[in-house]
Amino acid sequence: MEGIRKGPRLFIGVTALLLAGGCVESTPTGSDKAPGVLRPSALVVAPSGSSLKMKALANAVSNDFNAVTTVTDVESDDQIATFAPLSVAVQAQSQSASGQASVVATGSAMAMWSDPAEGQVQWAVNWVIVNIGAPGGVAGVSAIAPDEGWRYTFTPDQDGTFTLDFSITADFTIGINPFNFLWPGDPCCTLLPPNTTGTVTRPVIAGTEFTVALTNNSGVSVTVGNCCASGPDASMTATFNWRIEPLVIHVEIDIKPGSFPNSINLKSGGRVPVAILSAADFDAPAQVHPTSLTFGRTGDEASLAFCTKSAEDVNGDGLLDLVCHFNTQQTGFQSGDTEGILKGRTADGTPIEGRDGVRVVS
């Protein structure tokens, strides 16, 4: 299945040059849009390898400092271009010879793929620290070494973006370190701290091999007397969702098909119709995910009222187009705006964007 992105490969029209300058004439019926030219839009990723590796280390030291026990456990899972889930689980346990201190470090991780362009990494580590006896003992160190974690090497067939959404929680912060996000050409490293969520994006280039990696090196250490007779326990969990997408695809839209200029009256409580035009290899009614559509001043406005059930050919090119209606009061337009922006996604998740001229009056 490698190299195959789910869903159909699709081609899409781009805005005709004529429209970029806004030099269009009014047409009494139909659309003021010419048929677009075509370019490929689906991004296909060729994977070449991935790995997941964890190491647990436990080191319990009692207050006599002459009884040290160190245990390590390393597990790795590698594959080359076969994207079954990766998983590792490690545990290290140590008790000082005097019995005054003990630590158990446990870690597990999984890497899963929806396809070579999308997947998820889950990461969980836990420390149980027990100090028994008199103050002065030191309990527990455990670590995930910096060169270990998740790695993925892939080559996209066109320019696009790599996006990583992360969510990291930890219940104890001393010794729990940020994840490192490693990307070719970045100075090492982009830090993803505990108890944060966020997004990292990087551009990908057609025909270029990229390796992305997530690593973490965390450990906890507690001194009895400074803390407590038992515990504290500590844990960290993290979820990473990533995807590789083409750059935003420019679809051709026609605001208020059949009229020009495309006047929008802010005093109107009505709706603005917007047509998403089909092209020879782009079937707008079939491929656009209607409820993903947003439209207005920035294109992010949740103004969708509905899309008409029956498609119509608004520009007379013989291809059925998708016509949707947006609530004027939710479009965020301001008097004097000259452009309306529509954003959304195709049914297979590819971002789309279209722009057309408007004349906004209040």
C-beta of 31 vs 98, nearer to Ca ion: 31
C-beta of 148 vs 317, nearer to Ca ion: 317
How many CA atoms does the CB half-sphere of 295 hold within 13 Å? 33
Label residue 332 exposed, middle or buried (CB < 10 Å: 0-12, 13-18, 19+): middle
Site for Ca ion in 217-276 (CB under 5 A): none
Pattern of binders to Ca ion over 32-71, x per CB under 5 A?
A: ----------------------------------------
User: In whole angstroms, how far apart are CA 276 and each of 39, 49, 287, 297?
Assistant: 17, 39, 11, 17
Shortest separation between residue 37's beta carbon and Ca ion, angstroms:
15
C-beta of 148 vs 321, nearer to Ca ion: 321
Shortest separation between residue 20's beta carbon and Ca ion, angstroms:
20
Site for Ca ion in 291-330 (CB under 5 A): 313, 315, 317, 319, 321
Shortest separation between residue 315's beta carbon and Ca ion, angstroms:
4
Shortest separation between residue 35's beta carbon and Ca ion, angstroms:
8
Compute the CA torsion angle 282, 283, 288, 293 (nearest 10 deg): 90
Size of the site for Ca ion (CB under 5 A): 5
Q: Are 51 and 256 in contact (CB under 8 A)?
A: no
C-beta of 203 vs 316, nearer to Ca ion: 316
Structure-block tokens of residue 265: 């009256």
Helices (H), 182-292: 284-287
Within 8 A by CB and 6+ apart from 301, the residues are: 294, 295, 326, 330, 331, 332
Name the phi and psi angles at 98, rounded to 5: -75, -15
C-beta of 214 vs 253, nearer to Ca ion: 253
C-beta of 222 vs 251, nearer to Ca ion: 251
Shortest separation between residue 314's beta carbon and Ca ion, angstroms:
6
Shortest separation between residue 11's beta carbon and Ca ion, angstroms:
15
Strand partners of residue 118: 115, 243
For residue 252, what is the DSSP state?
A: -
C-beta of 321 vs 337, nearer to Ca ion: 321
Shortest separation between residue 324's beta carbon and Ca ion, angstroms:
14
Structure-block tokens of residue 88: 């590792």
Pattern of binders to Ca ion over 80-109, x per CB under 5 A?
A: ------------------------------
Strand partners of residue 282: 279
Contacts with Ca ion, residue ranges (CB under 5 A): 313, 315, 317, 319, 321
